[in-house]
Amino acid sequence: MNFRTFAAFVGPSVFMMLLFIAYPLISVFMQSFYITQPIYETVEIETCTPGFLTQTCITEQVSQPKLDEHGEIITQTEYVGLQSYRNVLEPERAWRAISNGEWNVLSTINFWKALRFTLTFTLITLPLVIGCGLGISVLINNAARAIRGPVIFVSLLPFIITPVIGVLSINWLFRGDGILTAMLETWLNRDIALFAQAWTIEILMMVYRVWHVAPFAAIVFYAGLQTVNQDSLESAVIDGATRWQRMKYIVIPHLMPLIIFVSMIHLMDSYRVFEEIVGFSSQGYVISLQWLTYDFLVPDQAGNRSISRASASAMLTMIGVVILLIFPLRRTWRDHKGGH
């Protein structure tokens, strides 16, 4: 394939990646070093009480945003360096809390609170998704051919459901007088409030994420099971290997590239957890890094948004994703070099 033909195939994809990935990323990175604020001016405002003979007027000075000739607020952009990152991380306060062992103080800093939940959520759900996905794929593979289609369809239903709808469904089932909450209260003969404390909310979030993502892993693993060397499995059966031994020494090593692939997808997706926070309305107890970035962009009472802090939070989130991907990427590169 000559260069012109190669460029014709690759060029549109490269252009779209530069336009919709590289450019926004560079823009967010640059915005994290600048703060844009309205310019305020002090004006005198006279307020008078009702009445004529007894009317009293008071003149006071009030600060208000300066407007241009079109009535728009005039803003100024100032380079602040790493100050936005310091405002998000609060390193002095965080280090003081760590040095004194005051972990409850560290949990009051939004970034560290969000980081703790995000890492917990990601690292706990990862092995559960891999394990459940592998179990479902084996179940599908061993199902009779006549019912294999319906089994695949039923297994895929959780993944097909829109994430926000799925989260709200779990929310309604367990919140207050939800069906499952009522059943648990009847069974345990006690009142249950699953949304009144952080740890129960976190468990429900993790259960939902595993329920939603495991079917995707199952379909990927099921496709991989179709390429397992049947001669090796038959030889293992003849040699007396148990089902677990065949799974451990033949099937799982064969599926390892797919396991790494699913792990990478899950790490990137779970570290940006957002739908669960919104669907479970858990902001009062649990927040994530992605939700923290969104919260910085919500206008305050004056209509201002912390774009610089949001950009810093987004960049820190991206750095976290890159760190988590180092191990699976190294494993993939090592396997690639070994294959050559």
In a domain, 149, yes or no: yes
Query: Exposed (0-12), middle (13-18) or buried (19+): which is 55, by Cβ within 10 Å?
Result: exposed
Alpha carbons 178 and 183: distance in angstroms, whole number = 9
Residue 272 lies in domain: 110-339
- Structural domain total, the chain: 1
**221 domain residue, yes or no:** yes
Per-residue pLDDT tens over the stretch 113-161: 999 999 999 999 999 999 999 999 999 988 888 888 888 888 888 888 8
Residue that the structure tokens 């892993």 belong to? 217
3-state secondary structure 163-188: HHHHHHHHHHHHCCCCHHHHHHHHHH
Judged against a pLDDT cut of 60, whether residue 340 lies above it is answered with no
Residue 95 lies in a domain: no
For residue 246, what is the domain's CATH number?
1.10.3720.10
334 belongs to a structural domain: yes
CA distances from 86 to 37, 307, 308, 309 (A): 18, 14, 11, 9
Look up residue 28 and give its two tokens: 């967010």
Predicted pLDDT at 339: 57
Q: Which of 78-82, 167-171, 214-218, 336-340 has the lowest mean pLDDT?
A: 336-340
Q: Please, what is the average pLDDT of the chain?
A: 87
Helix (H, G, I), strand (E, B) or coil at 60: strand
> Is 240 contained in some domain?
yes
Q: How far apart are the first and last CA of the chain?
A: 23
pLDDT of residue 224: 93
Assigned domain for 167 exists: yes
What pLDDT, on a 0 to 100 scale, did the predictor assign at position 52? Answer: 64
Alpha-carbon torsion (120, 122, 123, 127), positive or negative: positive
Which of 257, 273, 183, 268 is CA-nearest to residue 221?
257
* 146 found inside a domain: yes
Q: What are the structure tokens assigned to 94, written together? A: 């965080």
- Percent of residues, the chain, with pLDDT higher than 90: 36
Residue 254 lies in a domain: yes
Question: pLDDT class for 1, splitting at 50, 70, 90?
Answer: low
Statement: the pTM of the whole predicted model exceeds 0.85: no
